[in-house]
Structure 1
């Protein structure tokens, strides 16, 4: 799902998805960009959120994933690494 700046979902019909893909294709050709598609933009957005310190829970919510495990997999994160980071983070308060 792609959302607007106001947090509202863009119509998730095949017609809307096709229109978005068509516009991305048009602009990628115009500006000489490769591998630009809605999925790549969504993944890039998720990676950017992670890079600036957003929690997995916030990223999961932004991507409308049903489970944090889906988000972890989507971001190609190692579950054990995430668990280790959480333990380290929780020990910072002590």
Structure 2
């Protein structure tokens, strides 16, 4: 099996007015823990590209892991961290 980076794409929709709070929590709470587990943030796409009052938003968050071994390490250590799973539960609409 060839080695190389593995791409992960997270998608989340959030209610109107929740966009700024989600992005702040992503940077302060989730990203540092994710990067400590080997994930590297590659992209963050927001739809719509600007916050529109009364309109729900969607984020597509692209991550990269170095290789297959990094993926399995991330999975094992990530599932042992309840705050990472709680982040997504807390962010759900």
- Place the TM-score, normalised by the shorter chain, in its bin: under 0.3
TM-score normalised by structure 2 residue count: 0.28
Structure showing greater Rg: 1
Q: Structure 1 or 2: larger helix share?
A: 1
Q: Structure 1 or 2: larger strand share?
A: 2
Pick 1 or 2: higher relative contact order, CA cutoff 8 A, min separation 6.
Answer: 2
